[in-house]
Amino acid sequence: MTPSSREPRIRRATILDVAAAAGVSRQTVTRAMNDMPGISPATRQRVQQLAAELGYTPSRFAKGLVQGARVSLGLAIPDLTNPYFPAFASSVVEVATQRGWNVVVDDFGHGSGSGLDAVARLAPQVDALVGYLGACSSDAQVMMGRRPVVVLDDPSGHAAGGISFDYSYAARTALERLHAAHCREIAYLDSDQEGPATTRGLAVAAAAKEAGIELTVGQAADSAPAARQAVHSMIEDRGGIDGLLVFNDLMAAGALKALQDAGKTVPGDCAVIGMDGIPLGELLTPELTTLALDLRAVGRAAVDLVDNLLTGTVDAGSEDAMLVLRHELVLRQSA
């Protein structure tokens, strides 16, 4: 891919820009941004609000390490221990580097961190941000001011741009495959990360209802060990399950182990389909059938969208700034 022919209209806001917008001196901006005495609370609030709108943050990092990069792109990732996210991050870094951009990565999935915590850490350093931010995407855009935020997998968010996935299509495709494989007792193992049901889970339930399939649904934490335990429980409760769709490939690996533990063959006794298409699926026994995303294409789409938002080629919040990508069914041994 060649770099965009249009130069991003990006010039990092300076303290002088904020001072001019607020009609105050540079010293007043410094006091306001550092919560120093000598100015009224109303002035402090007005200056800080204008600074946020202009995307100004006094950052030693931004003035030092990032100096010389045309654009500094933030990347907020919820869990780099899940193989999906390093693969996605790698694709973003690859495409951004081709443009001469700098990428700053924040993994917020450990400890008590949240997506908004990651945005707070990244905001002083970056000109735009890409991330899996979930329910905090709108707040993330407010925190970034006029600088674009591109959120992934949150179709209801209100950021400058978004990339979502057609889970209805994915669910129909998976259920059609299981039905074609003569599966009649079909189950879905969802992640418990979004409460009673994830966006994927809702799409699977709707597709099953449309197809007249009585679906058994279970939930587990987003990990192979948790999925293994959950499938053990599903087998004990509903031993006749002969088709299983799983939230992602990592959890599907745990599901395969649970079926093996129970003495069931795959796909003979139970066909299994994962989702996301990470390389791990080819290393499992049997190799995992999956609804795969082209992660290089997802990363490319995210960086292209940021570029278009920065150049003004695409308007923030417009229909063109909201992309929808589809999975592809990759048939292997498990279904």
Question: Which pLDDT tens digit goes with each residue over 123-159?
Answer: 888 989 999 988 888 899 988 888 999 999 887 778 9
Q: Would you give the DSSP letter of residue 67?
A: T
Give the pLDDT confidence score for residue 266 in this predicted structure: 95
AA letter at 128: A
- Note the pLDDT of residue 79: 86
Question: What pLDDT does 188 receive?
Answer: 97
- Residue stretches of the chain with pLDDT short of 70: 1-12, 58-69, 110-112, 195
Query: What is the rounded distance in angstroms from the CA atom of residue 335 to the CA atom of residue 329?
Result: 11
- How much is the pLDDT for 304? 95
Q: Which domains does the chain have, with CATH numbers?
A: 15-58 (1.10.260.40), 66-165+295-326 (3.40.50.2300), 167-292 (3.40.50.2300)
CA 178/CA 35 separation, integer angstroms? 61
Tens digits of per-residue pLDDT, 28-77? 888 888 777 778 999 999 998 998 888 777 654 444 443 444 789 999 99
Q: Where are the alpha helices (DSSP H) in the chain?
A: 15-22, 26-33, 41-54, 60-63, 84-98, 115-122, 137-144, 167-180, 199-211, 224-237, 249-261, 295-311
Can you give the pLDDT at residue 224? 95
Half-sphere exposure of 325 (CA within 13 A, CB side): 22
Output the pLDDT for position 252.
97
Rounded to two decimals, what is the model's pTM? 0.76
The Cα angle at residue 218 between residues 217 and 221, in degrees rounded to 5 = 145
Mapped onto helix, strand or coil, the DSSP state of residue 105 is strand
